[in-house]
Amino acid sequence: MKPTHPDYEVVIGLEVHCQLRVRTKLFTPAPVTYGAEPNTATLPVCLGLPGALPVLNGPAVELAVRAGLATHCTIQPRSIFARKNYFYPDLPKGYQISQFEEPLATGGYVDVPMEGEEEPLRVRLTRIHMEEDAGKSVHEAGLSETHVDLNRAGVPLIEIVSEPDIRSPEAATAYLRTLREIVRYIDASDADMEKGHFRCDVNVSLRPHGSSELGTRTELKNLNSFRFVEAAIRLEIDRQAKVLSEGGTIEQVTLGYDADRGRTFLMRGKEDSDDYRYFPDPDLVPLVLSEERIAEIRAALPELPEQKRARFTEEYGLPGDACAILTEKRGLADFFERAAAAAGDDAKPAAQTTANWMLRDVLAVLREDDVEVQDGHLEPEGLGALIRMVEEGRVTARSARSLLPELIREGGDPERLVQERGLESVSDEGALEALVAQAIEANPKAVASYAEGDKKSLNFLMGQVMKASQGKADPGAVRKLLAAKLES
Ligand code: ADP
Ligand code: MG
């Protein structure tokens, strides 16, 4: 693979904060909300009121364990919640509860499919730990004061920390996409980046090609779109390369990214973990998970995207890029398999035909409308039935295709629609023969040039027959009949 920078190897490690899909906060029954009136989703624990005691949210733990298992981590039988002390207006307790020395999950990996590469990129995970989110400082345009909204304070997060195994901006976003796909598959998170459910800190350093020592890193904080991640990394690579090539040294700092101006800016010098004075939270007992409990959670995991991709290749013989698209979202993958089952009795060819219809026709409409397949009106069995009609020659591919946008947007029974619209293809020998005879009689020139060896005239005549049938003639049957007539 071509190096990202001619003079330096780029080294990237990511810390991803992912909001767990639970109804209540990590240590109180206060609801997890989005867009609610400020400070209406809080209880004494979120406000840091003296004497309020935290109680751990069980379902949140289960989702965090799922995420650990789905990324091949070891789930620790015992983990510890610690206080990370710092002052911030949106952190009324004066500390955030996180896991530090003994995290929930350690040592996993994510295999990231890379465009144009045979082998996926394996990104090792250092750890996954649980923590609570902080509140939000709201700086309203035109107001000189800053407001604090504590609705987000205490919302359950996992932080997924990667080893510095990533070597390019594209690989960073490919990793993030894969990770997002995994947490969505296992229902651990909605991972909606616009809502801040999935955001990341990017650590970047450079080193000479061939060096095995890590260079000094900088950290780009809180990026919440794939586009920003790539753009910010590119800027940081250029900045560091310039400093190093001029003989300077990189300072370990924390940077922000200003998307409007398309540049990074210094937020603060880098703090060390010592600065946070971590210590075990005396209000919380260690989180202990029995082997049986972990096994139960593992048994309940759905098929993961990488497993599904492997199975689609194996079972249906689908090419890699088709598998990648069809398995990207669990809803789409399930839809595809149900449609394929209805499209034909022979699983492999039915799946291949269905994959073509999905990739070429169905996704085009979904993308145009920006909807997910499960939110459209098309039933997988309906698509399967339509494909079956095409395969059986009862309707032409062209007619079937013309019905798809309507079926997706408004729904309906394909069988009935085909009948109502009179789209049943003409495959009746007698009717086809009449059409063929008509075309031959009306186009003596084309017939003559075919006889003189211009085989392309057959296509012209085909076109005439199809036109006369209003696109309903079975093209295979027409070609056969025409060729036979012209040869005789
Ligand atoms: P902190 O919370 O102080 O940022 P962590 O250990 O939680 O520290 O996270 C460090 C992240 O930075 C990890 O994702 C790791 O892979 C990455 N990282 C560490 N050293 C480097 C480096 N020299 N270059 C790039 N990334 C690095
Ligand atoms: Mg960090």
Ligand lying closest to the C-alpha of residue 8: 1
Residue identified by tokens 């005691």 is: 53
Cβ–ligand 1 contact at 217 (below 6 Å):
yes
| Ligand 1 close to Cβ of residue 14 (< 6 A) | yes
Q: Which atom of ligand 1 is nearest to the CA of 271?
A: 3
Q: What is the pLDDT of residues 356-393, one digit of tens each?
A: 999 999 999 999 988 889 888 999 999 999 999 999 88
484 Rama class: left (phi>0) / alpha (psi -120 to 50) / beta: alpha
Both 278 and 339 in one domain: the answer is no
Structural domain contains residue 1: no
Q: Measured in angstroms, how far is the CA atom of residue 159 from the centroid of ligand 1?
A: 13
pLDDT tens-digit map of 225-267:
999 999 999 999 999 999 999 999 999 999 999 999 999 999 8
How far, in Å, from the CA of 91 to the mean position of ligand 2?
18
Out of 71, 123, 159, 161, mutate this one to test ligand 1's pocket (max ligand atoms within 8 Å of CB): namely 161
Same domain for 26 and 95, yes or no, is yes
Any residues with CB less than 8 A from the CB of 260 and at least 6 apart, and which?
A: none
If 0-12 CB within 10 Å is exposed, 13-18 middle and 19+ buried, where does residue 337 land?
A: buried
Where among 242, 264, 297 does a domain terminate?
297
**pTM across the whole model:** 0.84
Given the DSSP bridges, would you call strands 218-223 and 253-258 parallel, antiparallel or unpaired?
parallel
Q: Is the CB of 103 under 6 A from ligand 1?
A: no
Both 361 and 461 in one domain: the answer is: no
Mutation probe of ligand 1 site: the residue of 203, 207, 211 with most atoms within 8 A of C-beta: 203
Query: What is the number of other CB atoms lying within 10 angstroms of the CB of residue 251?
Result: 11
Determine if ligand 1 sits within 6 Å of the CB of residue 164: yes
Q: For position 206, what pLDDT does the model report?
A: 97
Do 477 and 415 have their domain in common? no
Q: Is the pLDDT of residue 285 over 80?
A: yes
287, 311: one domain: no
Element (H, E) at 68: helix 58-70
239: containing domain: 8-297
Instruction: Specify whether 415 is located in the same domain as 438.
Output: no
Q: How many domains does the chain have?
A: 3
Banded model confidence at residue 1, pLDDT cuts 50, 70, 90? low
Residue-wise pLDDT for 392-420, tens only, equals: 888 888 889 999 999 999 988 998 988 88
Q: Are residues 412 and 435 in the same domain?
A: no
163 ligand 1 Cβ < 6 A? yes
Nearest atom in ligand 1 to the alpha carbon of residue 203 is 26
Ligand 1 site, residue 129, Cβ cutoff 6 A? no
Integer Cα distance of 486 and 488 in angstroms: 6
Ligand 1 near 159 CB (within 6 A): no
CA atoms within 13 A on the CB side of 48: 17
11 close to ligand 1 (CB < 6 Angstrom)? yes
Interacting residues of 314 by C-beta distance below 8 A, sequence separation 6+: none
